[in-house]
Structures are given as structure tokens and as C-alpha cells.
Amino acid sequence: MKTLNDYANIVNRRLAEIPAVIPEGCFEIGEMPWLLSRSMRYSLEAGGKRLRPSMLLAAVDMLNGDGEDALDFACAVEMIHTYSLIHDDLPGMDDDNLRRGRPTNHVVFGVGQAILAGDGLLNAAFETMLNHACLRPERSARYLAAIREIARGAGVTGMIGGQVMDLHCERSGIADNRALEYIQYGKTACMFVYPLRAAARLCDAGEADLKALSDYGRAFGLLFQATDDLLDVTGAQADMGKTLGKDAESGKLTCVSAYGLRGTQERVARLHSEALAALERFGTRGAFFRELVDSMVSRTH
Amino acid sequence: MKTLNDYANIVNRRLAEIPAVIPEGCFEIGEMPWLLSRSMRYSLEAGGKRLRPSMLLAAVDMLNGDGEDALDFACAVEMIHTYSLIHDDLPGMDDDNLRRGRPTNHVVFGVGQAILAGDGLLNAAFETMLNHACLRPERSARYLAAIREIARGAGVTGMIGGQVMDLHCERSGIADNRALEYIQYGKTACMFVYPLRAAARLCDAGEADLKALSDYGRAFGLLFQATDDLLDVTGAQADMGKTLGKDAESGKLTCVSAYGLRGTQERVARLHSEALAALERFGTRGAFFRELVDSMVSRTH
């Protein structure tokens, strides 16, 4: 069985090829400006565990699908995740100067270029999937279904919807548990749920597999966010370059602000059970996902 | 034969249905926040001639294709065009407070929300095309090819590439004719070339039709920008709510700054001939596109 690290290496090798690196000063029509390539790569290569694309690939393996065929879809998921971080960090949004210990994209390239680097990554994610999808016409229908899942997860009822609600609540001082649930599902869970659904589409899996992967993605994503909220308060992330307790100070809506420390710990335990229950139908083939959610919970111990 | 106005009405009717209008205060999981819907619609419904989607639909009619089937692709093109205007107007980009005589998106909704409205429109454009494409599996291959054309036109070697070069040249004071050609092809012409190519893909047209439409789109797009640059200097657009000679003052790279008034007029005449030549193979069926380019040229007389 491949580990998270194995999948991350596979994703990193492919990401190094797309989008193309352009020599400085070049502006042939039909090529990408080198400045755009450089600013997109700056954030794409800033590290990160490649969790979302790795989970997509692991799901394809679990369903006995074609991992090579799924690779460009996995890379697209990481490109979308990266664009969302670039735009999230902008002035007018979270206005952060540091991400993973490095200056954020707009600090290095300027606000205008950072907006365009984000736009470029989102569009390039679709270009990457579509370029791959046009290679094998006999698989067109499942490719379309997979791209659509990823678009929904990233979209106005998914990740972007969650970001809008987050920004709106922060600006308006709204502290409502329904809003919190909307934000955490949209902003965090959707980019686990829908890439896993895309994996199922690529494997032409049935409705039961699709539902089980959706349920796991939802529980895992909400748990991921809840443990993040917990660690933000308990300060255990200080060594990961994150500003200690930033969210707690800013009045941002978090699990801890909504449910308290004890309530958040109970939430984590409940979501952990839900994630494991969703994996039952996969038996031993679900080992990667079982270990993944166990390791996420153990972060808070 | 339908007119530009007929097509624009068809597009506007469909755009009124997507993306959905959400009642204020609603935040059910799986629905779009009303604030996102409102900010996207604010710019989508700000007027405009719906030139790009109308040309896509007219090309489908010219090739005896299925106009109804192409409608969501046309709407997606307008959504992408609209997102590019929202982001272009942002502080850090052109920093414009007015567009078509109305306050720009970020003036009304704030910078953060305007960034997300743009992101939302780009993603929703793909969602719209993909939702439609998943309805008829037997057409999957041509839908994929059409979506890919639109993604390329909007993408890092197309529109976004042009925007990056434009921003870079303005900031660095670069005034180079090769850069100008790159910018005008990428920023303006690509969103004519590739939607027309998408129309050809939807009709499963051959390479010769594809090339003729690309050539027309390129000539028309460059001509559209050149006449805009001319009008910006001669001030004939003052009554259209545009700041008189803004580009001329800002030191922005334009056809007039690069080639002079006379050179730009000659460029318009040359592009006019090229556009008409590209239409020859379509005979009388090319009347819509012939009249369109004629009317564009006559703006400058």
C-alpha cells in the first residue's frame, strides 16, 4: 500500500511539468508569460502535504482504478487549493503576509499579479483536466462527470460559497452555528468530498461507493477543520509557523468559539466514528483512509 | 437571419436563470450564499452587448448546429468575460471606480467580495458548461472539446496571459510592439477566437471551418481593440460613459501609442480585409459576421 508521502511525490513530479516553466523575457503568442508561470509556481511549490490530490489517487487505487489516468485530476485539485490560498491571503480578504513561513504571493509579486496568478491556477486546473480528457474519447463521459464533481466542490455552492460566508460573518460579526456549519462544510470539507467523488467517477463506481466516499470526505474534512481549530487554541501548531491563536484573537468563527473546547473534542470523536463507518464497505482496502483519519485525530492528543 | 440584438436577448433570458438567485439570509448547505449571487449578478446584469456569446451562437447557426444546445456555452463565455472585468477593475489592477457608468463591483461589495464574485463567475462558467454536458453522454466528446477551447481562450496562454503582460508592461514602462501584439491578442482577441472555435466543436465541424473561424476571430478581436484605441484618442466614446482618453494619459500601451493614428487606421483596414477573407468559405451564410465587422469599422468613421 502506498503512503501519503508516496502519493505526494507522484503529485509533485507531475506538478513540476504543468503548468509549463517559461524562460524569462519570452512572450511568444500562444505561450504563457514567464512572470505568470513564476508566480503560479511560487505558491504551487511552497510545500504542503498534497493531502487532497493524494486522497483522490488513493481512492482510485482503493477502487482498483487507473492511477496514471487520474493523475492530472489530482494535480488540478492541488492547483485549485493553491489558488484559493493565494486569493485568501490578499488584502481585502485575510490580508496575510506569511504562509507556511514564506512571504505570501502578493507580497512577492504585487496584489495585481497575485490576483492573476490565482485566476491562472483556477483556469489552468480546468485546462489540465480538459487536455487530459480529450486524449481518450472513449472515456469522455466519465471524465466529464469527474471534472464536474471537482468544479462543484470548488464552486459557488462549495468552496467559494464557504469563503463568501466566512468573509461576510467576519465583517458583520455574525456568530451563528448554522453559519459555522456552512462555512466549514463549504470552505474545508467540499475540497475533500468532491475530489473523492471525482475519483469514483473516474472509476465508473456505483452510487454506494460514491455515497461512502462523500460521507468519508465530509466527516474527514469537518474533522480536519475541527482539529485545526483545536490546535489553534491549544497552541500545538506554534512550531508549524502559524501565528499562535490568531483565529481565536480575530473573532473568527471557529468550532471552539461555537462549541467550546469540550464540545469540539466531542465533535472530533463523533466525526472520527462517522469517517470509520463510511469506510466499512471497503474492508481492508480502506486501510489508507482509516490510518489517515486516525492520524488526524491523534494530532490533538 | 437573427441580429446581434436577437442573440443578446436569448443570452440574457438564459443568464437570468443561472447562477440561481438566492433569497436573502439563506445559508442551506448545498446552496449559494445570497451575497455571492447578488454580487455576481450585479456585474453580469450591468448591460453590455453580449457580443462574445452572440457570436458563438451565430457561428453555431452558420454551421447549421443546434443553437439551444449551445446556449449554456454562450452564457459561460459571458460569465468569464464578466469575471475578467470585475478583477480588472480591482485596486492592484486598473483600480477603476466606474464601469459602464455604474460603480464597479468592489466599490459596492468591497474588495474581498469582488475577488470572490470574480472567482465564482469563472468557476460557475465551467459548472454551467459541465452541467449541460453531462445531460447527453452521446455528445460527451464534442462537449469536452468545446469546453477545452473556451478554457484555452480564457487561460494562461490566452486572456490571463494577456492581462499579466499588460499589467507587467504598465508597471515596468515597457513599450514594445511585440508586447503590444501579445497583450491585444491575449487580452482581447482570444475571447473571440476560442468561443468561435468552441462553436465549431459543438457542431463537430472540420478543420477548415475551425481555421476560418479562428482567423475571423483573431482579425475581429484585434480590430475591435484597435478601433477602441482609436476612439479612446479621438474621444468619440465620451458619450458612452468612458473616461476620455484615459488610456492615452496613463501611458498604457495601445495601438495608437505604438503605431500612431495613421498606422492604427491602416491596421484597421488590413484587419477588416482579413476578417472578410476568412468568411469567404461560408458564402451567404457568413452575412452576420460580415455585417458585424463592417459595423465595427464604421464606428471609427
Q: What pLDDT shows up at residue A90?
A: 98
Q: Do B156 and A127 count as a contact with CB atoms less than 8 A apart?
A: yes
By percentage, how much of chain A surpasses pLDDT 70?
92
Q: What pLDDT shows up at residue A249?
A: 56
Q: What pLDDT shows up at residue A250?
A: 64
- For residue A29, is pLDDT > 90? no
Facing residue for A123 by CB, picked from B29, B112, B151 = B151
Mean pLDDT over the full length of chain B: 92
CA A210 vs CA A57, A192, A215, A231: distances in Å:
15, 13, 9, 31
Report the residue of chain A nearest B28, measured CA to CA: A182
Categorize the per-residue pLDDT at B31 as very low, low, confident or very high, splitting at 50, 70 and 90: confident
B252 alpha carbon, distance to own chain's centre: 20
Q: What pLDDT shows up at residue A244?
A: 41
- The 10s digit of each residue's pLDDT in A188-247 is 999 999 999 999 999 999 999 999 999 999 999 999 999 999 998 887 544 444 444 445
CATH number for the domain including B271? 1.10.600.10
- The 10s digit of each residue's pLDDT in B89-145 is 999 999 999 998 999 999 999 999 999 999 999 999 999 999 999 999 999 999 999
Q: Rounded to a whole number, what is the distance in Å from the CA of B140 to chain A's nearest CA?
A: 5
C-alpha cell at A32: 504563457
Q: Do A151 and B31 count as a contact with CB atoms less than 8 A apart?
A: no
C-alpha cell at B45: 446584469
Cα separation, B66 vs B9, whole angstroms: 17
CB pairs under 8 A between A and B: 193
Please give the tally of structural domains in chain B: 1
Q: Do A122 and B120 count as a contact with CB atoms less than 8 A apart?
A: no
Q: Does residue A236 contact residue A288 with C-beta atoms inside 8 Å?
A: no
Using DSSP's 3-state secondary structure scheme, residue B103 falls into strand
List the alpha helices (DSSP H) in B134-206: 140-154, 159-172, 177-183, 190-202
In a mutational test of the B interface, the residue from A116, A129, A177 whose CB has the highest number of chain B CBs within 10 Å is: A116
Per-residue pLDDT, averaged over A32-51, amounts to: 93
Per-residue pLDDT, averaged over B137-159, amounts to: 97
Output the CA torsion A211→A68→A39→B113 (10° steps): -20
Cα separation, B137 vs A141, whole angstroms: 6
Q: Rounded to a whole number, what is the distance in Å from the CA of B301 to chain A's nearest CA?
A: 30
Q: What are phi and psi of A55, to 5 degrees?
A: -65, -35
Q: What pLDDT shows up at residue B247?
A: 54
In a mutational test of the B interface, the residue from A22, A40, A157, A204 whose CB has the highest number of chain B CBs within 10 Å is: A157
Facing residue for B165 by CB, picked from A33, A141, A181 = A33
Q: Do A126 and B87 count as a contact with CB atoms less than 8 A apart?
A: no
Cα separation, A151 vs B125, whole angstroms: 10
Q: Does residue A115 contact residue A90 with C-beta atoms inside 8 Å?
A: yes
Q: Is the pTM of this model over 0.90?
A: yes
Q: Do B127 and A19 count as a contact with CB atoms less than 8 A apart?
A: no
Q: Which residue has the higher pLDDT, A64 or B234?
A: A64
Q: What pLDDT shows up at residue A273?
A: 98
- For residue A294, is pLDDT > 60? yes
Amino acid at B224: F
Q: What pLDDT shows up at residue B300?
A: 82
Per-residue pLDDT, averaged over A245-252, amounts to: 58
Q: Do B124 and A165 count as a contact with CB atoms less than 8 A apart?
A: no
| Domain hosting residue A155, numbered range | 4-298
Q: Using an 8 Å CB-CB cutoff, list chain A residues near B106.
A: 92
Q: Do A27 and B157 count as a contact with CB atoms less than 8 A apart?
A: no
Q: What are phi and psi of B226, to 5 degrees?
A: -65, -40
Amino acid at B149: E
Q: Using an 8 Å CB-CB cutoff, list chain B residues near A114.
A: 92
Q: What pLDDT shows up at residue A242?
A: 45
- The 10s digit of each residue's pLDDT in A95-120 is 999 998 999 999 999 999 999 999 99
Q: Using an 8 Å CB-CB cutoff, list chain B residues near A146.
A: none
**Span of A14-23, B141-150, B203-212 with lowest mean pLDDT:** A14-23
- Looking at the DSSP bridge assignments, the partners of residue B102 are B99
Q: Rounded to a whole number, what is the distance in Å from the CA of B211 to chain A's nearest CA?
A: 15
- For residue B273, is pLDDT > 90? yes
Residue whose entry in the numeric block shows the C-alpha cell 489558488: A83
Q: Do A120 and B164 count as a contact with CB atoms less than 8 A apart?
A: yes
Report the residue of chain B nearest A88, measured CA to CA: B112
- The 10s digit of each residue's pLDDT in B38-69 is 999 999 999 889 999 999 999 999 999 999 99
Cα separation, B113 vs A264, whole angstroms: 29
A202 alpha carbon, distance to own chain's centre: 19
Complex-level ipTM? 0.95
Q: Do A115 and B116 count as a contact with CB atoms less than 8 A apart?
A: no
- The 10s digit of each residue's pLDDT in B71-92 is 999 999 999 999 999 999 999 9
Q: Rounded to a whole number, what is the distance in Å from the CA of A3 to chain B's nearest CA?
A: 32
